[in-house]
Each structure stands twice: as structure tokens, then as C-alpha cells.
Amino acid sequence: MFIVPFIYKVTKENNVRVHTIHLLTVGGRALWEEEASLNLDHDILEPNDIYRKGGIKTIGKNLTLCEVDTEKTNINDFYQWKEISLEDDATFCWKTYFYLLGEKEDCWLSVPRQEKIGQHDVNSILQHIIRNT
């Protein structure tokens, strides 16, 4: 299963809602993959000092979204995507995405449709987070 820990925040600037979404990725190009038989909290997240808040959200059969509790998890212990080398494909890092919506839900800025992390469509992951969080 692929695991997508994320941090999600919405702020309002004038008449625009700015959705800021941080996804924990592997080198900014792949998603975290673990055996589906493992316990998400006790076997995967907590040993890596990541703590979940809220429930688990699933997309399809093998993509698991989990919102990170930023009060329990020390986000500064992780790299940001801009801090690692472009050739690095092994370091876990937070990759940040922005999505801007106007008052009438008109999109002012979105992620390009062709953007992928591994074989997964980033836009569909972000839309799922925005609609269900």
C-alpha cells in the first residue's frame, strides 16, 4: 500500500482561499510504500515519529491518506523538498502544493494535470484532501 501523510491548511487572502498541502514523499518523486498487512500507526507512522489525527482516507485499493498531527509530530525533523538534491530519490521530504480558489469556487491556481508522484496523479490526491478534510 502507498501511504500519503499530509498536512493541510486553508487561509483566506482577500477573496481567495489558499489551500496549502504538504505531502510526505520519497525524494519528491515517489510515495511511501509499505506492506498492507502492517498496522499503519504502530508499525509505520509512530516508529518514524509521525502521529496521525483523524481517520484514514483511502483512494482506490492501495492509496492511504492520513492527516498528520502537527502538535505531536515535529515537522522540523524532516527535510523539505527544496532542501534535498534533485538526484536524491531516497530521502523522505515534505513537498508543498498550493491550490487557490475564488469565492465562487473558481480555480485561480491548480497543480498541472500531468503532475505525478510515481504513477499517482497529484491533482486527484490534492482534490481528495481538499474535498474530504
Q: pLDDT tens, 17-29?
A: 999 999 999 999 9
What is the predicted pLDDT for the residue at 112? 85
What is the predicted pLDDT for the residue at 77? 94
Stretch 101-121: mean pLDDT: 85
For 61-107, write each residue's pLDDT tens digit. 899 999 999 999 999 999 999 999 999 999 999 999 998 888 777 77
Nearest to 81 by CA among 121, 22, 131, 11: 22
Q: What percent of the chain has pLDDT over 70?
A: 100
Contact 75/5 with Cβ under 8 angstroms?
A: no
What is the predicted pLDDT for the residue at 22? 98
Tell me which DSSP letter residue 113 carries.
T
Of 21-30, 41-50, 108-117, 123-132, the poorest mean pLDDT is in 108-117
Cell readout for 26 is 520519497
What is the predicted pLDDT for the residue at 32? 97
What is the predicted pLDDT for the residue at 15? 87
Task: Give the pTM.
Answer: 0.94
Domain ranges for the chain: 2-132
SS3 content of the chain, % helix, strand, coil (to 5): 20, 45, 35
